[in-house]
Structure 1
Amino acid sequence: MAVMSDPLLSVDGIDTHYGESHILFDLSLSVGEGEIIALVGRNGAGKTTTLRSVMGLTPPTSGTVEIRGEAIDGLDPNQIRKRGISWIPEERRVFGGLTVEENLRLAAHSGDGDQSAGFEEVYDQFPRLDERRDQQAGTMSGGEQQMLAIARALLGPETDLLLLDEPSEGLAPQIVDDVADIVRELNERGVTVLLVEQNAEMALGLADRAYVLETGRIVHESPASELLEDRETMESYLGVK
């Protein structure tokens, strides 16, 4: 587990709206270099909106978002991606009609110039994808598609911070463990992770620190291990007994 260092990502007092609907309220959090941070909460709490706000997909209407002290709120998602932040959305969203290799080649060419120098490294890291280079992504299992989504995010501009949205959704328990191992290995290789997860026990088992979100507000912050042992808070805010 990493020790809290200078923030890589700082979110300070953001409010975010969808049209007339106010979703996030004065939300602040920080992610230190090398940390895994879990953002947990019930469905509809605003977890995905938080990631979308960081990535510039649903820009905050007030407050600031900074990466290494540089304000990025107001930048478009492509500019934010070039600053080392990569987002893996809920439900993976791989190109099902394309092969594994075609999915990865699209990602490798998505930045400034051809980033395929790291292409074989991705296959070394994900041997199962190497075995399925020529298989259509839509025919793979949910766990394999999640691996592909993670691998795809690591191509293109270098990733310093990975925003990972519900990676365990719809996966069998054993595959959830495999995905957790991948996230842990990426972190050990130097990738900082902000993890949104409905599966609180999985997320807290991985994370250094945790934030609990309820109706668009941060209501609890602590070391992840402390929250995991705090059954009263787990039940009250997350419905975990």
Structure 2
Amino acid sequence: MSELTDVGGENDARPRSSSSRRLTVDSIETYYGDSHVLFDVSLSVGDGEIVALVGRNGAGKTTTLRSIMGLTPAKSGRIEKDGESIHGLDPHQVRKRGISWIPEERRVFGGLTVDENLRLAAHTADTDQRERIEEVYDRFSRLDERRTQKAGTMSGGEQQMLAIARALLGPETDLLLLDEPSEGLAPQIVKDVESIIRELNEEGVTVLLVEQNAEMALGLADRAYVLETGEIVHESSADELLADRSAMEQYLGVQ
């Protein structure tokens, strides 16, 4: 796209199933009880992309991820992974299809050690899984240093690294859903998390990134969608959105 596109206008194009699309979300409607939260939401994530879903607090970003994972199932619409429907599947079935979700606030098991958290994510401590855990320690040297430390006593940045590490264990992951990974982190730690996301993507992991820190998300992403009160209102390349200061202020409150 050469410029920002108003969704619903003449240039509106629904995502269609394609072998090059890792994830397709088409016209989903999601409710919390009687409260209508997502309205005709459509987006796609291509194989190998980082796509940012940005918007103000309460826009429905987390609900979109929960709908994909089957935690808050969409009442209508279509959700596909690699061209196959995952709409209506239980979360553990979605996970088995290669999708990992790292929720907001990390949610590590604070009373368990780093190693216990990783072993729990891997479900077993047999030789094969132990090898994978050791590979995680090779990637995250800070976690290696804290194997026996209780996760709840670590810094927010270290807990975020642990949350990402856990997501890489268990069934093979080729699509990572990240919800506010920079929340509450010091600027230098945010840069560390950015580097981890970029490295995983370079290794073949596709990423759908929900992030309140729009400039951080757009700096990482290939493309971006803006969600406002449950509706997609703009989509563009991430660079185009980042350069459009009027749109950044209008939709995201960024001066």
* TM-score, with structure 1 as normaliser: 0.96
Q: Shift in Å at residue 114 of structure 1?
A: 6.7
Query: For residues 77-113 of structure 1, what are the alpha-carbon distances to aligned partners after superposition, in whole Å with 9 as ceiling and x for unaligned?
Result: 0000000000000000000010000000000117xx9
Query: Residue 154 of structure 2 corresponds to which residue in structure 1?
Result: 140
Distance 2:19 2:195 in 1: 23
State whether structure 2 residue 57 is matched by structure 1 residue 43.
yes
Q: Shift in Å at residue 115 of structure 1?
A: 3.5
State whether structure 2 residue 167 is matched by structure 1 residue 179.
no
Q: Shift in Å at residue 231 of structure 1?
A: 0.2
Q: Identity over the aligned pairs, expressed in percent?
A: 80
Query: Residue 229 of structure 2 corresponds to which residue in structure 1?
Result: 215
After TM superposition, list the pairs within 5 Å mapping 1:62-141 onto structure 2.
62-109=76-123, 115-141=129-155
Query: Residue 237 of structure 1 corresponds to which residue in structure 2?
Result: 251
Distance 2:64 2:43 in 1: 10
Distance 2:73 2:130 in 1: 31
Asked which structure has the greater CA Rg, the reply is 2
Dislocated runs of 4+, deviation >4 Å: none
* TM-score, with structure 2 as normaliser: 0.91
Q: Work out whether residues 115 and 157 of structure 1, in 8 Å CA contact, stay in contact via their aligned partners in 2.
A: no
Distance 1:108 1:63 in 2: 33
Which 5+ residue runs of structure 1 have no aligned equivalent? none
Q: Which of 20, 23, 34 matches 1:9?
A: 23
Distance 2:72 2:239 in 1: 31
Q: Shift in Å at residue 5 of structure 1?
A: 8.0
Distance 1:37 1:215 in 2: 19
Distance 1:154 1:225 in 2: 28
AA of the residue aligned to 1:80: V
Distance 2:183 2:148 in 1: 25
Taking only aligned residues, the RMSD between alpha carbons, in angstroms, comes to 1.4
Which 5+ residue runs of structure 2 have no aligned equivalent? 1-17
Q: Shift in Å at residue 142 of structure 1?
A: 0.3
How many residues align? The count is 236
AA of the residue aligned to 1:31: V
